[in-house]
Amino acid sequence: MKKYKNIYSIVGSIVIALVLITFSLYSTKCHGSECNANTNAGQAAAVIAATAGDQQIFPKMIPDVINEQVKNKEIVLLDVREDSEWNAGYIKGSEHIALDNINAETTKDIPKDVVVYTYCRSGKRAKEAERILQELGFSKAEDLGGIIYWQERGGTLITQ
């Protein structure tokens, strides 16, 4: 009987070790191409932002990266808040169409072949705007989040 107790202890230890090893392998912060060691500063910042607290909600909301993308016309930044909110302050380079006014006519000047990031105050209306834009044929429309997170991450606003 004593002989079997040692075997059970050994087998149990091996099973626990395998579980720990498996857990450590599958709990990495990146998968596939994200793990490429040649990431640029923007991608590194995105990974850092995506792993910190509430920033998991909107990992693309990195002011320096977004500002550069808007400047280079790589993206369209669409503010979907109400007019009064827009007038109180908006992200530089963004366009404004209130959520209730998004339709084929109001979006006709927005290119459909670039990423269109939508934002509002907290992210809820931006998600709805993403859905509407996708229905209108903007296959690259994405919810960027809320202006609250923009400011928390050091982003500035243009005020009139």
For position 54, what pLDDT does the model report? 43
C-alpha–C-alpha distance, residues 100 and 95, integer Å: 15
Residue ranges covered by each domain of the chain:
56-152
What percentage of residues in the chain have a pLDDT greater than 90? 61
* Residue 18 backbone dihedrals phi, psi, to 5 degrees: -65, -40
Average pLDDT over residues 72-95: 97
C-alpha–C-alpha distance, residues 130 and 123, integer Å: 10
Q: Which pLDDT band, with edges at 50, 70 and 90, does 34 fall under?
A: very low
Greater pLDDT, 135 or 50: 135
Neighbour count for residue 77 (Cβ, 10 Å): 21
Question: Which of 27-31, 47-51, 57-61, 104-108 has the highest mean predicted lDDT (pLDDT)?
Answer: 104-108
pTM of the complete model: 0.65
CATH number of the domain at 56-152, out of 3.40.630.30, 3.30.420.10, 3.40.1800.10, 3.40.250.10?
A: 3.40.250.10
β-bridge partners, 119? 79, 145
> Which amino acid type is present at position 49?
A
Residue 23 to residues 11, 36, 123, Cα–Cα distance (Å)? 18, 21, 33
